[in-house]
């Protein structure tokens, strides 16, 4: 049988619950840490004081939409940093004959690419009139000068040594690109893995000069035709080829979305970095990382 004190306690608890429900708040659970004076905090771990202080508009007076422009490009650079991290490890794993591990890294890159492509829809809310009101404050700064973007291109195989001079005034960035220029690309490492497995990858491809972009080689198309015509026998290689095609498709979607966003924002104007703008971006759509992956499709069916 409940005592009078028990009934009082139950009544008080019910009253507290009713009160929380009535004021539309969620009570803190007893175990939630609220004293963070000597503990690692969320903001401390993520260095948010530094991160959130890095958005510094330069327009005078400050234009409302410049913050959007800065955040768009800063978040892109953060994602590119992660892509480089994953691409580095994917190549390490391929060199160690761990194809499954490399595919896991590539799968993550593909998801990052989707986020990067979707981000363009946010920047596309910036109208030509709005952008024109602070574009002049950007000087000659341009996404063309993104060292991390170039590092990703180099890592995937679009090598271009002439790009290094853009970073002569930034030694750390030039060093990053020099390192990527001299390092085998993802495709180089994939073809080398196939050679070690006994696939007919010519020796001159395995030992090629990795500081230049790979170009279409019909002998590699022959190899992939063998793989695609008997996918069951070569399943992991077949699957890897399709993953690489996904990777390139995603990259081209990003390039195209970039082109369309620039076109709707500045039309045919010259880019802030001195390029021809949309026309320059359009020509990038003709570049390819894995040419044989697409050429083999002409032979199939």
70 is in an annotated binding site: yes
Ligand-binding site membership of 25 (annotated): no
Dist. CA 72–CA 171, nearest whole Å: 25
User: Is residue 103 within 8 Å of residue 240, measured between CB atoms?
Assistant: yes
Residue of 52, 45, 48, 59 whose CA lies nearest to 74: 52
131 within 8 A of 261, measured Cβ to Cβ: no
181 in Cβ contact with 166 (< 8 Å)? no
How deeply is 95 buried, as exposed, middle or buried, from its count of CB atoms within 10 A (0-12, 13-18, 19+)? middle
Q: Is 294 annotated as a binding residue?
A: no
Do the annotations mark residue 73 as ligand-binding? yes
Tell whether residue 144 is among the known ligand binding residues. Answer: no
Q: Is 71 annotated as a binding residue?
A: yes
187 known ligand binder = no
Is residue 166 marked as binding? no
How many H-runs (helices) and E-runs (strands) does the chain carry?
A: 14, 0
Containing H/E element for 231? none
The Cα–Cα gap between 275 and 22 comes to 60
- d(C-alpha 158, C-alpha 214), whole Å: 8
Whether the Cβ atoms of residue 114 and residue 250 lie closer than 8 Å to each other: yes
CA dihedral for 50, 55, 60, 63, sign (positive or negative)? negative
Q: Residue 152 contacts by C-beta under 8 Å, 6 or more apart in sequence?
A: 80, 83, 84, 87
Q: Do the annotations mark residue 131 as ligand-binding?
A: yes
DSSP one-letter code for 272: T
DSSP output for 96-131: TT-HHHHHHHHHHHHHHHHHHHHHHHHHTTS-HHHH
| Secondary structure of residue 140 in the 3-state scheme | coil
- Residue list, annotated binding site for heme: 258
- Residue list, annotated binding site for substrate: 69-73, 131, 135, 272
- Residue list, annotated binding site: 69-73, 131, 135, 258, 272
């Amino acid at each position: 049988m409940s005592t009078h004190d028990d009934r009082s306690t139950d009544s008080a608890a019910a009253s507290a619950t009713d009160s929380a429900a009535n004021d539309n708040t969620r009570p803190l659970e007893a175990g939630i840490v609220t004293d963070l004076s000597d503990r690692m905090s969320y903001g401390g771990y993520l260095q948010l004081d530094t991160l959130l202080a890095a958005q510094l508009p330069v327009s005078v007076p400050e234009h409302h939409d410049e913050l959007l422009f800065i955040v768009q490009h800063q978040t892109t650079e953060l994602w590119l940093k992660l892509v480089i991290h994953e691409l580095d490890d994917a190549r390490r794993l391929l060199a160690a004959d761990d194809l499954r591990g490399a595919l896991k890294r590539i799968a993550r890159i593909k998801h990052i690419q989707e986020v990067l492509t979707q981000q363009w829809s946010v920047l596309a809310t910036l109208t030509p009139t709005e952008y024109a009101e602070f574009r002049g404050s950007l000087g000659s700064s341009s996404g063309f000068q993104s060292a991390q973007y170039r590092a990703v291109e180099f890592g995937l195989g679009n090598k271009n040594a002439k790009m290094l001079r853009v970073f002569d005034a930034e030694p750390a960035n030039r060093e990053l690109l020099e390192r990527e220029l001299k390092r085998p690309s993802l495709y180089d490492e994939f073809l080398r893995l196939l050679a070690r497995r006994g696939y007919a990858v010519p020796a001159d491809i395995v030992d090629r000069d990795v500081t230049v972009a790979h170009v279409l080689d019909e002998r590699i198309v022959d190899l992939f035709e063998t793989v695609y015509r008997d996918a069951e026998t070569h399943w992991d290689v077949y699957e890897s080829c399709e993953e690489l095609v996904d990777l390139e498709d995603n990259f081209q979607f990003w390039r195209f979305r970039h082109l369309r966003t620039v076109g709707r924002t500045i039309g045919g104007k010259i880019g802030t970095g001195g390029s021809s703008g949309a026309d320059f971006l359009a020509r990038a759509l003709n570049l390819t990382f894995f040419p044989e992956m697409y050429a083999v499709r002409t032979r199939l069916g």
